[in-house]
Amino acid sequence: MPPQPYLLSSTPWKFVRETRYDLAVLPWGATEAHNYHLPFGTDNFESDHIAAESAKLAWQAGAHVAVLPTIPFGVNTGQLDIPLTINMNPSTQAAVLQDVVASLLGHGVRKLVILNSHGGNDFKQMIREIQGEKPEMFICTINWWQVLPQKEFFEAPDDHAGEMETSIMLALRPDLVLPLGEAGPGKAKSFALKGLREKWAWAPRQWTKTTDDTGVGNPAAATADKGKRFLEAVTKTIGGFLVDVAKADLEHLYR
């Protein structure tokens, strides 16, 4: 058996052809600025790790999980004036997802979990459309940063490149994190319109009019220990969910 049989990218065909996979996990990230101190690939590093560690726990519990390669581009229409932000429109995402689902179904894999790492990505309507066309396929999506309450692990709420994400990157890739003294404060402006401020109305944010340093959330209190503790708790929870999905009878999902 390969050392990480749950990671499709590093698993040889000799093993794959002998394995019946219960479900696939599709990590989906983004390529965008994360304040002054975090790399453009932050969302992808997070997706890679959380998907792999969650699948590892699920595999150890008997669930045959295949983690697909992370898709590194997300919806960034509000950040295109920031150099080298890479945008993937929702319609493009929908086409990619359709092709992935068709491939999985062709190989008998009827369960897919999208592990989302970027707030601009929203797969709900895409899943609804695929459900209508391919009702035999079960698809769900997880925003990993919403799995557990941030306040149990961090002092300040993190919207983008704040204490949580900085702590995670300090735990995962400290070599890619600049000293916190070089980070911006992550101070963001609110909408002038009351309904948008109170969040019962919604509109996308134009990022450079919202924040000067591209961050939303103060990273000053971030530590590697906080990131490690959060990651362990999140991957344990998601790993348990993957086991549940693997065992689930698609004909009896409701009770």
3-state class of 28 per DSSP?
A: strand
105 domain-assigned: yes
Q: Tell me if 40 is assigned to some domain.
A: yes
In a domain, 136, yes or no: yes
C-alpha distances (whole Å) from 99 to each of 92, 95, 105, 132 are 11, 6, 10, 15
CATH of the domain at 55: 3.40.50.10310
Q: What is the chain's mean pLDDT, rounded?
A: 97
Q: Is the residue at 70 inside a domain?
A: yes
Q: Could you tell me if residue 32 is inside a domain?
A: yes
Q: Could you give the number of structural domains in the chain? A: 1
Position 255 in a domain: no
The single-letter code of the amino acid at 59 is W
Is position 69 within any domain?
A: yes
pLDDT in tens, 193-232: 999 999 999 999 999 999 999 999 999 999 999 999 999 9
In a domain, residue 252? The reply is no
Range of the domain at 157: 8-247
Give 176-183's long-range contacts (Cβ < 8 A, gap of 24+). 176/38, 176/39, 176/45, 177/37, 177/38, 177/39, 178/36, 178/37, 178/38, 179/37, 180/37, 180/219, 180/220, 180/222, 182/36, 182/37, 183/35, 183/36, 183/37, 183/213, 183/215, 183/219, 183/220
Name the pTM for this structure. Answer: 0.96
What does the pLDDT look like over 53-82, one tens digit per residue? 999 999 999 999 999 999 999 999 999 999
